[in-house]
A and B are shown apart, each in its own frame.
Chain A
Amino acid sequence: MKPDKKIIHRLQSGEMEALKVIYEMSGEQVYRTALGILGNRQDAEDATQDIFLRLYHKAGRYNFRASFTTWLYRLAVNYCLNLLRRRRFLSWLQLSDTTDSEKREESKADAKLTVHTLLARLDPRTRSLLVLRELQGLSYQEIANTMSLPVGTVRSALSRARSKLKNIRRKT
């Protein structure tokens, strides 16, 4: 998942073929990250599509300071966290399109995915940290760069998240 400078420049000049190359390199990682944070396949597919659309339109903002991978992960994680935040806000305003029966159907489908029901017990930000570590294998420093957090915070948050998940597994 490390596109060279040439590909990134081509993407920045609006070449759709360059986006396809980057999708082939990193589409899977972006999808898995979105699935880990959002918790269901439909949302992860929609999010992956939107993340790549954003990548295409916002590629010009990439300034080569951070690694492209970090920048793309940040785009993906921020997109997913903002989506969850918006949903919470919309449900607070009672303007959400999702009805109660739809929510019940979603939770039934999610119950089959034990990994995601487990991850759903964590708050979205902590979940993102664990997804980047466990599913993507990022180092603490890379996670810290992606999430704009100190390395020490990443370390302690991961430790707390794992303790919590271990306790949940013991109880169930």
Chain B
Amino acid sequence: MNCRKTRSLLSAFYDNELEPILTKQIRGHIKSCARCRKELAALHRLGHQLDQQQPVPDLWPRIETALATPRPQPRRRMVAITAALLLIAAVFLTLDFPTARPVDQHAVDNFLYQQLSMLENNIASDSLNDWDSLLVPADDIIDYLNYIPETHSDDEKTGRKPKLDYRA
């Protein structure tokens, strides 16, 4: 065991997470190497510094109160962010990248219309009170971007331009 190898395993050695044979080899090396001993001491000092215990407040009264009264979320900000996400998606989906898969403009328009309607419904029903509601359209956009549309099997036989089907 040399210094280089020891240093690369020292953190796991310090955590007692090495296989017994490696632990034994490192222990043997450290006995004879002052520099590696110093490195190990530095790890111990760092550990002590990170493990400074600080008083923990009793948060149960807060949790209990919060459970009884649901906290309202800032709705306007979430609407703004969702609108921004949709705008970004709209720009991406309508740009004509030469290497990208073909885009069915009608499907894109439908998709964006659906997302905007969903957002509108959420606002109308006042259900946009959780971050998850914001993340749903974002997740859908990502799913949509990753979705590879199916081509109709007849297209391959006839050699026609494939017809895209985005209805998953």
Distance in Å: Cβ of B143 to nearest Cβ of chain A: 19
Q: Is the interface of B mostly helix, strand, loop or mixed?
A: helix
Distance in Å: Cβ of A165 to nearest Cβ of chain B: 6
Q: How many A-B residue pairs have CB under 8 A?
A: 85
Number of interface residues of A (CB under 8 A): 40
Q: A140-B15, A155-B11, A159-B12 are in contact. Are A32 and B56 (CB under 8 A)?
A: yes
Within 8 A of B (CB), among A1-48: 16, 19-20, 23-24, 27-28, 31-32, 35, 41, 45, 48
Contact B15 A133 (CB under 8 A): yes
Number of interface residues of B (CB under 8 A): 31
Contact A115 B52 (CB under 8 A): yes
Q: A95-B80, A118-B49, A140-B15 are in contact. Are A16 and B59 (CB under 8 A)?
A: no
**Per a CB cutoff under 8 Å, which of B8, B15, B67, B131 touches A158?**
B15
Interface hub of B15, B50, B77, B80 (most chain A Cβ within 10 A): B50
Indicate if A93 sits at the interface (CB-CB under 8 A): yes
Distance in Å: Cβ of A59 to nearest Cβ of chain B: 13
Q: B residues engaging A (CB < 8 A)?
A: 8, 10-12, 15, 17, 39, 42-43, 45-47, 49-52, 54, 56-57, 59-60, 62-64, 66-67, 77, 80-81, 84, 131
